Every structure is written in C-alpha cells, then in structure tokens.
Structure 1
C-alpha cells in the first residue's frame, strides 16, 4: 500500500495550467456533467450556473436565482464556452474529453476549441436547470472553506464518520 493511501488526507490533483478565477470561479466534473459557476459579463452581482451533460452534451444555463440565460436559446451560450475553456485549464483537455465522452480527431491533448466545436456539431438539446441549485450550493460551500483561517484543527463537517462512544 502506498503512503498516501494510508493517509487521512486526500491527494489533490494540481491544475493542468493556472486559471483566472474572476470569470469562472468554480468548475467541476461531477454527477455526469461538466458544471460550474460563471460570472456575468455585464453585472458584477450576477452569476450563471452552467452545465453540460456527458455523452449527450445537453446543456443548461441559468442565473443563481433560476432565471434562464438569454444567450442559451437552442445552442450553447458564452457561459458554456467559458466553462469548457476553464475546465480544460483546470483538468486538461484529455480528461475533460474523456469525462464528457467527446471524440476528437486523434488529439492526445485536445484544446477547448476542439472540444467545443465537436460538442456543437452534435446539436445538443437544452435541458431544464434542475441541477443548478446543487451546483450553486457546492460553490457557496467552496467559498466558505476559502474564508477559513489556516489551521490544523479538525472541521466537523469534514469528518465523514460519526463519533464512536467508548464502551464502559
């Protein structure tokens, strides 16, 4: 067994390349989707929750208060494009392509442009934004951890196992 497998901490995969968090502060490959939070280009107080489903490339984009994105009318909006761009920076093109099941023409490390154009060619459908609340909630939890002071004390919400009582 490797040393890190015996550890109580999780190994963190470093980003493929540094990202600028102002435009896309949160991106993840989870729940069978590429999903994340994208800042509005016109209103500093508005963010969009965007997602692309693996395999079908079905997409959803809405504001944090569940208003539909005006640019996502039958095709990908600029928020989805920004999400794909940042996912490739965070995870690398090969990993994003594998997760979304995007077949690119022999690229070992496909670019976000290659991924996006392949997904657009598939003519994906727009889906309802049912996952938006979950994604936005994860984003807010992520922000809460960034505000914590550095320390070694355990965080109760990070403890996965219930406390055991000593048997007398």
Structure 2
C-alpha cells in the first residue's frame, strides 16, 4: 500500500467495525460505550430484576455518577466507586480492551498491560469527585433505542431513522 493505493475500506465512506476484544455476557452490563468524554453504560441491579443503573466515569478527573433509570442515586456510590461502576469498567475492558479504555479515560497504570482491576484501582487512588448525573437520561435513551432495534424483524429494507448511514458497497 506504500504506492498510494487505498484499501477498499479507505475508499468507501464506511468505518470498520471493531470486534470486541473478548466476548462478554450482556446480562449484567447490557450497554457500555466510550462516548462524550466518559465511560458510560447501563448496569443491571443485583437485587431487583426490574431495575437498572446508569453509571459513568469521566475521562481525566474520573468524576463518577451512578443512579437508577428513574434518577434515584445509587446507595453504594458515596465517595468511592460502587459495584455498578466496577462492573461497567470490567465490561468495557472486555468490549474495548484495557489499553483502549485506559487511554480513553487517561488512566496511568503501573502495569504495562493493564486489566480492569488495574484501571479501576488507578482511578480510585485519585479520590475522584462525585459527578453530574445529567448524562444519565441520554445514555439510558440510547440504550432503549438499541433495544428497539432488537425487536425489529430481520429485513434488508432501509430503516428511515438510519438513512444517513453510508451504503455498505460503493456505488460506481
């Protein structure tokens, strides 16, 4: 490719889909993303099957927030990371890989090849501040939108709300 030739994916307007670093189970953390300067997602409650928590950790200062889907604060997130946030970090590492999560959150770990525990421990050492729960509503909304796509019947017809996605094949 040194001769200036572009690969097929570089010529198209689509981006490559990066496969998960490792397979993960969606029951505990059904939704995780690195977006809006945060690691954020939805974590199932350990005690109530009808409750989920929206958890997030901000890049850089590690400000964290955890609340239920109806904005009730998590009882375990008082001054330190709760189990929901620890589960979120663990699943993010499975989804994206520890190095990518650490790089996104700007975490310096002592380990050359960090794991979820090393990333969480390095962030917790800084005594992170309690974050703003204002991001919970958009994160939960995106999660519900993802769930709605699972209910659609398989089809090759275009979805109107996804019309802006580029075609999978370049039209010549």
Secondary structure of the equivalent of 2:88? helix
Deviant stretches of 4+, over 3 Å? 5-10
Aligned to 1:93: 98
**CA–CA distance in structure 1, aligned partners of residues 10 and 162 of structure 2:** 18
Structure 2 CA distance, aligned partners of 1:110 and 1:157? 39
Match of 1:40 among 45, 59, 70: 45
Residue from 49, 57, 62 that aligns with 2:62:
57
Equivalent runs, 1:9-24 vs 2, <5 Å: 9-24=14-29
Report if the CA contact (8 A) 2:111-2:118 is conserved. Answer: no
* Per-residue CA distance 1:39-96 (angstroms, 9 max, x = gap): 0000000000000000000000000000000000111100000000000000000000
**2:139 equivalent to 1:154:** no
- For the Cα contact (< 8 Å) 2:45–2:51, is it kept in 1? yes
Distance across 2 between alignment mates of 1:144 and 1:10: 23
The root-mean-square deviation of aligned C-alpha atoms, in Å, is 1.3
Equivalent residue, structure 2, for 1:165: none
SS of corresponding position for 2:121: helix
SS at match of 1:28: strand
> Shift of residue 150 of structure 1?
2.2
Matched, 1:114 2:118: yes
Report how far residue 8 of structure 1 moved: 5.5
Structure 1: where are the runs of 5+ without partners? 162-168
